[in-house]
Amino acid sequence: MYTNYVSTKPERGNDRMLTAVKSWPTSVSGKEFEAVLYRARPDDYPKKLYEPWYKDPLYRHLDVKSILVYVGGAGMGDIVMINPLFNALKKVWPESHITWIGEYKNPVRCLMEESGLIDDIFCTHVRKHRPSAIPEYTKWWREGRRMGEVDLFIDTQRQFVPSLLFSLCFKYRHRIGYSSKCLFSDWKFDEPDRHKVHDSFQTLILARRLGITPPDPLHRIVIPENFEQIAGDLWEKYGFGEAVAMFPYSAWPVKDWDGEYFLSLGRMLLKEGFRVLLFGGPVDFEKLRNLADLMGKGAYVPYLLTDLSIDQEMYLSMALLKRAALTLSVDSGGAHLSAALGTKTLVISLLSRVDKFMPVGRQVWSIYPGIECSPCPDRNMRACGGKRWCAKGITPQILYEAVAMLLAGKEVKQ
């Protein structure tokens, strides 16, 4: 048995993705700026672009039983952002056999394969398209010969070389993609101001061009029922009650807030009677254990309370995040997952371009440093010489007030 828990398709906020909710004046090393809390909704293409494609949908004229989809990154955030495209494909071609072409990591298994959105995987990853990648290209050729002709090939990447090589290595009846201004695509389309459009909607335009409307709910994420049971048992055994989930670490230190700040905030929340649940990847567990110990009674690393394998950790996280009152996260895959599950999600946005990479969900907020060098233009932090004014200016007290306001449902525009 499975439980299908999905997010609701977000509304577009007028003509802006971000709506200011509240701001706090702050100062670091003589730098005065505001920390601003935004309600976040993804920015989309204008309706006049894609609505004509729905009048006589192309997909109704296509006999599609097999689909290849070439995908780039396989991090958790990447997978959550591309999940709606596969959900859209399965909506109109539920019996189609979809093959994932790209990296194969645990998020692909948990969020795509086990959710019934892909049926097969061709594992390949070329970091740099150079002569050294020829052995991988040879593998493409052999796999193309093994597969034979497929009905539809979807290219979600924008690089000329792999797009050209795929046209040589694979056989297909139809192809769609935006690489090289749709050079390899059977159907052309414009992408006005695409650099302002969220990545999820950039990939969904490939479905829209075929006349497929975005699915509602937008994401399809399946949580196995036994993990729902495990999460429920943990909740009862340890008295999690009203819990705040935290993802303190990301893949890039420049995205991180501050360990001492998380410690202070956690203690504030515990003092007010909340429980704190700490999440992260396998490399983070020891740090998370130490952080929980320092926070004190009521702070937990849920995975460490179980005997589950590391491959099962993501299922447990999904089941627990769904129950949390709110998730507070640095810019991480965990933030994307929480938002897609429909949980209130507050992201500390220091590096990423919020308009393109913000988590998508019906209850997403971002706290953003209104300082001239944010978002950080360089992952080496050259703008501040590593002093990280942006992170230090968002104090634990500011975040506590933001969290308390969202938990109380007191979001009010300024």
Options 3.30.830.10, 3.40.50.2000, 2.30.110.10, 3.30.1490.20; CATH of 58-211: 3.40.50.2000
pLDDT digits (tens, 9 = 90+) for 8-29: 333 333 335 778 999 999 999 8
pLDDT digits (tens, 9 = 90+) for 217-276: 999 999 999 999 999 999 999 999 999 999 999 877 778 888 899 999 999 999 999 999
Give the pLDDT of residue 382. Answer: 78
Q: Residue 1 — pLDDT band, cuts 50, 70, 90?
A: very low
Where do the domains of the chain lie?
A: 2-43+222-407, 58-211
3-state helix, strand, coil in the chain (%, to 5): 40, 20, 40
Q: Residue 44 — pLDDT band, cuts 50, 70, 90?
A: very high
The span from the CA of 137 to the CA of 209, in Å, is: 29
Residue 46, H or E segment: none
Q: Would the pLDDT of 122 be above 80? A: yes
The span from the CA of 144 to the CA of 153, in Å, is: 12
pLDDT digits (tens, 9 = 90+) for 135-169: 999 999 999 999 999 999 999 999 999 999 999 99
Q: Would the pLDDT of 5 be above 60? A: no
Q: Which fold has domain 2-43+222-407?
A: Rossmann fold (3.40.50)
Other beta carbons less than 10 A from residue 85's beta carbon: 25
Q: Residue 72 — pLDDT band, cuts 50, 70, 90?
A: confident
Q: Do domains 2-43+222-407 and 58-211 have the same CATH topology?
A: yes
Q: Are 261 and 396 in contact (CB under 8 A)?
A: yes
Range of weakest confidence among 128-132, 176-180, 222-226, 291-295: 128-132
Give the pLDDT of residue 40. Answer: 83
Q: 């429920």: which residue's tokens? A: 232
Give the pLDDT of residue 355. Answer: 63
Q: Would the pLDDT of 414 be above 50? A: no
Give the pLDDT of residue 43. Answer: 86
Model's pTM, two decimal places?
0.91
